Amino acid sequence: MEYIDGTQVDRLDADALPQDERDALTQAFTRSLVKQLFIDGFFHGDLHPGNVMVDRATGELVLIDLGLVGRLNLRARLDLVELLVAIQQKDAGSLASLALRLTMHSRPVDAGKFRDDMGELVNQHIRYAEAQSFDSILGAFLALLQDHGMQLGEQFTIAVKTIAQSQEIVTALGGTVDFLPFVLRELAALALAEISLDRVVDLAGSHAISLAQELLRRIPGLDIVLPPQPDDVPPDRPQLSKGPDQLSLRLDRIQSTAANTGAGLVISLLTIGTAILTTAISQLVPVFLVLLVAGVMFAWRIPRPSSKR
């Protein structure tokens, strides 16, 4: 255990700090929150103002009391992003659909009534609110779920409450940050920063391996397509003769597999190319374009499987 000589943010005299320092602390805290929740999927689960301190020696923020932590898998992180985007866009329909999909129900839910109530919540707390408070929005959201006998998973609930509590910390720090838009901008920036050339190469390798495995799984062996030579047939193995129809069927399957593989190559190239373009690795763009054209030509030239059986 380490002793921190600092001041809790709820006891911080923010007015004594210059505005640029308050803004810097607020942005640093928000970036930390975004990275914990959306990039790492491992976050402080009790993030109230008393658990965040400003180190007197360094001026840096320190999180304390990590007795409660939360974990989110990738699917849950994407759902949480969807929740925040729907709130920012004042999209009651998306909020209702997301809630219906994510929650467990203790009793039958009247989906129509729930959607109407969600529309009222958005109007009252977001669209026509004189002063939007993000923590009050999330509080009303959770209360509405409870009223309808709906409950989010434990980890997702902890994550939502953590975001709501973080608004109190932002207020205590006194930074001039528009919380939700800043969170979404930082999320985009951090996600982009996680994409590196090494990760693109790893992605290319994994796609290539997957395609090779699929090809090996699905292409019939030559011993199935072609009859074995007499000298190669074990004495106890019955000889099978394959007529033209059977051979045509096997060849059609090979062509179908080849066509699927060609399509898979094109999709892989598109995925890799998108990552390359997104990370602005300009020197690799010509390589990507050449590979993409080659992949399309490869897929296009593969003969289509015959419909005759």
Q: What is the pLDDT along the chain (309 residues), one digit of tens a residue?
A: 678 888 888 888 766 788 888 889 999 999 999 999 998 999 999 988 889 998 888 889 999 988 899 999 989 999 999 999 999 899 999 999 999 999 999 999 999 999 999 999 999 999 998 877 888 899 999 999 999 999 999 999 999 999 988 888 888 888 888 888 888 888 888 777 666 556 555 555 555 555 555 544 544 444 444 444 455 445 554 454 445 555 555 555 555 555 555 555 555 555 555 554 444 444 455 555 555 555 555 555 544 454 444
188 and 204, same domain (yes or no): no
41 and 94, same domain (yes or no): yes
User: What is the reported pLDDT for 273?
Assistant: 53
Whole-angstrom distance, CA of residue 266 vs CA of residue 252: 21
Whole-angstrom distance, CA of residue 302 vs CA of residue 256: 9
User: What is the reported pLDDT for 104?
Assistant: 96
For residue 49, tell me if it sits in a domain.
Answer: yes
Whole-angstrom distance, CA of residue 78 vs CA of residue 175: 28
224 and 182, same domain (yes or no): no
128 and 142, same domain (yes or no): yes
For residue 307, tell me if it sits in a domain.
Answer: no
In DSSP notation, 37-75 reads: IIIISEEES---GGGEEEETTT--EEE---SSEEE--HH
83 and 158, same domain (yes or no): yes
How many domains is the chain built from?
2
**Structural domain boundaries, residue 86:** 1-194
- Identify the DSSP state of 158: H
177 and 218, same domain (yes or no): no
CA-based nearest residue to 118, from 86, 84, 78: 86
User: What is the reported pLDDT for 56?
Assistant: 86
Write down which residue in 168, 194, 220 finishes a domain. Answer: 194
18 and 104, same domain (yes or no): yes
184 and 214, same domain (yes or no): no
User: What is the reported pLDDT for 251?
Assistant: 54
2 and 130, same domain (yes or no): yes
For residue 306, tell me if it sits in a domain.
Answer: no
β pairing state of 69-71 and 42-44: antiparallel
User: What is the reported pLDDT for 226?
Assistant: 42
E strands within 108-203?
150-151
